[in-house]
């Protein structure tokens, strides 16, 4: 893990947030704990040998750009907001992160499926699976950080999707967890 590059990235988020609201003002003093460290929680659950990943709804780069910096795995970051995509390009350039930024809607497609798909605070799980499934390689996994309400989201998603889902939690995470999802297919 490259802590210097991650701290450089956190400083960029703080700087750019004044102009384009990447994170809320109340979160600015807590970028490292609430956003960077939260994103780093995914690292131990990335399958060994992962050669490429896609982060959808990348926003301020959590978790995709953080994971690219920390692991060296090449990430495709998909973000529809042109200002946030510009930030992601600049942050990737400055930190040297192996990331390609796509200023597009996720539904536009055009990306080769990847063995890993991530997203944070993008959509409820039932909608997230619809966005992620076309981007996921057949033997791939999705890692989705979720907060309070994850159980209701999983129940709603199971009405529409067949999948393997595992809840990952740890002491100190409170009601937060990571949902590790694979073998996704529409129930209909």
Binding-site annotation, residues for S-adenosyl-L-methionine? 57, 62, 106-107, 120
Return binding residues: 57, 62, 106-107, 120
Angle at 149 between CA 14 and CA 131, to 5 degrees: 70
Which residues are within 8 A (CB) of 171 and not within 5 positions of it... i.e. 6 or more apart? none
Angstrom CA distances, 36 to 6, 64, 132, 160, stand at 8, 10, 22, 32
Q: Is 133 left (phi over 0), alpha (psi -120 to 50) or beta?
A: alpha
């Amino acid at each position: 893990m490259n802590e210097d590059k991650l701290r450089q990235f956190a400083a960029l988020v703080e700087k750019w947030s004044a102009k384009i609201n990447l994170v809320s003002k109340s979160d600015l003093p807590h970028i490292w704990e609430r956003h960077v460290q939260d994103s780093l929680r995914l690292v131990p659950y990335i399958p060994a040998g992962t050669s490429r990943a896609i982060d959808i709804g990348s926003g301020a780069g959590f978790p995709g750009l953080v994971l690219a910096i920390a692991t060296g795995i090449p990430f495709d970051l998909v973000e529809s907001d042109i200002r946030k995509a510009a930030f992601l390009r600049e942050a990737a350039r400055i930190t040297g992160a192996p990331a390609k930024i796509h200023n597009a809607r996720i539904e536009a497609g055009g990306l080769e499926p990847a063995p890993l798909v991530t997203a944070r605070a993008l959509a409820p799980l039932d909608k997230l699976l619809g966005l992620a499934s076309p981007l996921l390689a057949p033997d791939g996994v999705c890692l989705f950080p979720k907060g309070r309400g994850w159980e209701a989201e999983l129940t709603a998603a199971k009405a529409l999707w067949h999948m393997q889902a595992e809840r990952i939690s740890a002491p100190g995470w409170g009601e937060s967890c990571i949902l590790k999802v694979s073998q996704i297919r529409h129930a209909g």
